[in-house]
Amino acid sequence: MSFKTFNNKNFKRLCNELAKRDDDLRKIISENNYPPLFSREANFETLIYIILEQQVSLASAKAALLKLKEKIGVVTPEKIIALTNEALKACYFSRQKIVYAKELANAIIQQKINLASLQKLDDATIRNELIKIKGIGNWTIDVFLMMALNRTDCFPTGDIALMNSIKHVKQLPKHTSKEEIVLIAEKWKPYRTIAAYILWWDYIKRKNIRY
**All residues at 6 or more sequence positions from 183 whose CB lies less than 8 Å from its CB, including other chains:** none
How do residues 127-179 score in pLDDT, each as one tens digit? 999 999 999 999 999 999 999 999 999 999 999 999 999 999 999 999 999 99
pLDDT reading at 1 higher than 60: no
Greatest CA span in the chain, whole angstroms?
A: 52
**Residue 29 and residue 68 in one domain:** no
- pTM listed for this prediction: 0.95
Domain count, the chain: 2
What band does 210 get if pLDDT is binned at 50, 70 and 90?
Answer: confident
Q: Residue 177 maps to which CATH number?
A: 1.10.1670.40
Q: How many other C-beta atoms can be found within 10 angstroms of the C-beta atom of residue 159?
A: 17
3-state secondary structure of 5: strand
Q: How many other C-beta atoms can be found within 10 angstroms of the C-beta atom of residue 150?
A: 22
**All residues at 6 or more sequence positions from 201 whose CB lies less than 8 Å from its CB, including other chains:** 28, 32, 34, 35, 36
**Residue 65 and residue 108 in one domain:** yes
What gap in Å lies between CA 122 and CA 119, rounded to an integer? 8
Q: Residue 49 maps to which CATH number?
A: 1.10.340.30
How do residues 16-53 score in pLDDT, each as one tens digit? 999 999 999 999 999 999 999 999 999 999 999 999 99
Smallest Cα–Cα separation from 146: which of 44, 23, 50, 26? 50
Q: What domain range includes position 97?
A: 44-148
The mean pLDDT value of the chain amounts to 96
3-state secondary structure of 187: helix
pLDDT reading at 184 higher than 70: yes
**Residue 109 and residue 133 in one domain:** yes
Instruction: Give ∠ CA 39-30-196 in degrees, rounded to 5.
Output: 40
Portion of the chain with pLDDT greater than 70, in percent: 100
Q: What is the 3-state secondary structure (H, E, C) of 137-168?
A: CHHHHHHHHHHHCCECCCCCCCCHHHHHHHHH
